[in-house]
């Protein structure tokens, strides 16, 4: 069986990564979303075990010590990390997995699993990014500033990514991500078994 794809999606806060992957999931139920652990407070409407595993710093640090994360990073003002067990279990069974993580985490994945596919989501403009974060209404003024500052730092890593998708319209952006997935699956190196079967 061919291994599943590991898709790593990053982009500044407010660029719409969350909306894109939720729409992607609606269309393609076969993609598995890894649920991260975080020390950040749950936003209104977020559910523990669905959006994130919301845990305290003590628990997070004990998970780091016990080597339970595939990658983790301190983003904005909190810890975020990808629990190890889920990801490779799914990929080995031929299922695709999507990680929505920051650039620091993405660079760690690049070291551990260079075969992963790295997609960077950009907002149509930096002005629009600011408007979207403000409009979302989930962050304090201080947090908005932190997130906008981090956006500039994250952009410095854009050349490390295989693909860039501008999120001007969600449907168009999702179409592009789906095309990337399909093209990656058609790569000759991922078609060896199919080729042998056909021949």
Which residues of this protein are in contact with ligand 5GP, per CB under 6 A?
13, 36, 40, 71, 73, 75-76, 80-82, 100-102, 104-105
Residue number, 84 or 190, with CB nearest to ligand 5GP: 84
Residue number, 96 or 100, with CB nearest to ligand 5GP: 100
CB of 190 to ligand 5GP, least distance (A): 26
Residue number, 42 or 192, with CB nearest to ligand 5GP: 42
Cα-only R_g, the chain = 17
Say if CB 8 and CB 117 are below 8 A apart. Answer: yes
Q: How far apart, in Å, are the Cα atoms of 19 and each of 6, 24, 171, 174, 185?
A: 19, 9, 10, 9, 23
Q: In the sheet where 117-122 sits, what is the strand order?
A: 32-33, 97-100, 6-10, 117-122, 163-166
Using DSSP's 3-state secondary structure scheme, residue 92 falls into helix
Helical axes 170-185 vs 17-27, angle rounded to 10°: 60
CB of 198 to ligand 5GP, least distance (A): 39
- Please choose, from the candidates 103, 78, 77, 80, the residue with its C-alpha nearest in 3D space to the C-alpha of residue 34: 80
Residue number, 5 or 10, with CB nearest to ligand 5GP: 10
CB of 184 to ligand 5GP, least distance (A): 21
CB of 71 to ligand 5GP, least distance (A): 6
Residue number, 42 or 183, with CB nearest to ligand 5GP: 42
Q: Which helix (H) or strand (E) holds 194?
A: helix 192-198
Residue with nearest beta carbon to ligand 5GP: 105
Say if CB 165 and CB 10 are below 8 A apart. Answer: no
């Amino acid at each position: 069986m061919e291994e599943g794809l590991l898709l790593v999606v990053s982009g500044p806060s407010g660029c719409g990564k969350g909306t894109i992957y939720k729409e992607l999931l609606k269309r393609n139920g076969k993609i598995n979303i890894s649920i991260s652990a975080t020390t950040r407070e749950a936003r209104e409407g977020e559910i523990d075990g669905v959006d994130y595993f919301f845990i305290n710093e003590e628990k997070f640090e004990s998970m780091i010590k016990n080597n339970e994360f595939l990658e983790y990073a301190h983003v904005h003002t909190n810890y975020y990390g990808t629990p190890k067990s889920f990801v490779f279990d799914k990929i080995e069974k031929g299922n695709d997995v999507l990680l929505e993580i920051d650039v620091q985490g993405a660079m760690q994945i690049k070291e551990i699993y260079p075969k992963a596919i790295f997609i960077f989501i950009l907002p149509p403009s930096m002005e629009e990014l600011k408007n979207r974060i403000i409009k979302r209404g989930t962050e304090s003024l201080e947090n908005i500033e932190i997130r906008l500052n981090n956006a500039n730092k994250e952009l410095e890593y854009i050349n490390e990514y295989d693909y860039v998708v501008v999120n001007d319209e969600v449907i168009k952006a999702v179409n592009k991500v789906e095309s990337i997935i399909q093209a990656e699956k058609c790569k000759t190196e991922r078609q060896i078994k199919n080729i042998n079967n056909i021949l």
